[in-house]
Structure 1
Amino acid sequence: MLPSFVRAIPNGQERGDFLAVDLGGTNFRVPHIRLQGMDAEMDGKIYAIPHAVMTGECDQLFDHIAACLADFMQRSGLSNTKKLPLGFTFSFPCSQDSLSEARLIRWTKGFNVSGVVGKDVAQLLREAINRRNASQWYKDVEVDVTAVLNDTVGTMLSCAFKESSCTVGAILGTGSNTCYLEDLEKCPKLKKYNFDKDAYPKQVSESFI
């Protein structure tokens, strides 16, 4: 059981523009989401991941993701605007110590990229974006990678946005996985994080890998 560090479901007060990267197979998506209370608008684009990238080196994969993210932002008129928060859906087994950090445990689904196992995938994405922006040719990806989560957690949260009673998410596809919202007091492995001393909801989403 792997905690996701998502502490609550949406409450209908979320507003603003957000980007996401959804990686979990031979294709990945880059959506742009605009939240206005209980209303949401979303557009996006699907990008392919060449087999050579799926089985190549770390920088190849994350530079490819950064390039596709830049392409989508340019197409959508989001380049050179205010920095947007980005959520990274990374659908592989990871251990987390915070919402914005996830270390890959192992690859699945045909991926075998070297140099990633044991690394923080959110930081690897940040570094790829920084490499692109440091180039004399590119400075077109202004984002803040604020969260990394599993696709089951993303599924649960997106459903809970419209139906607040939803506290379980499941994926049945190339792989199978489930998550649910649990009271923190029932998660002894999380006591070391002292969540009982903060003001956030006393729940956490648990992912089963």
Structure 2
Amino acid sequence: MTSVHIITEDKTGGGLEAIIRAEVQRQRHSAGKTPLQFSKARGTVNGNAQLLEQCRKYELFRFNYAPRIEHVFYVIDARNAWDLPQLEVQAPRVPYEQSLPSFISTIQGSMAVLARGTRTPQEWEKIRSGFHPHVLVWERESLILPVTDQLGMGEPTMDVYAERRAAEAITERFRRVRNRKYAKSIDGPEYLTRIAQDERLRATVLASNASLRAIVDELVSL
């Protein structure tokens, strides 16, 4: 059984991983593949900067766990990633369908540089196949926006790439229907868990977000 560890940014990362796990295992089952063995180790960090630090520990994750982890997936948020100088990336501009591909690939390249560290090309080549950098556009709340109608928060937003401030959009909707402030670390995981548990909600979320599909597709392909 192939072993995988997923490292995500933000306190709501547990909800994100739940969505990924549920959909990956469903698709692998449908394809007649064995389920993946996801690591039980905590994979959520608080902020993009901390996630990049985890990239530097890639070899540690791969070879210092028992049982050994074969693949490590890193999921960084696209939102404000351009504020991190180590990524050497500029904020994408509209139209996003043109600017996001190079934006994402530049970030992935910078994450790989951090993971490689001082290793020679030959040393890196031996272990790089287990390193999987991904960029989520734009953040956890981007996965909630396309199903707000089914979560009791009004009209959904299907073009989630056009909404760069998804957290603020969810906060406003939440305040209108719940009459209190949206708690990112509490309400976020609750909504994401509901999505993870409902195949129809997951299908809608996946259809609206190519960056999430890229993560799922790569896991299914292992």
TM bracket (short chain): 0.3 to 0.5
> What TM-score, normalized to structure 1?
0.40
Structure showing the higher helix proportion among its residues: 2
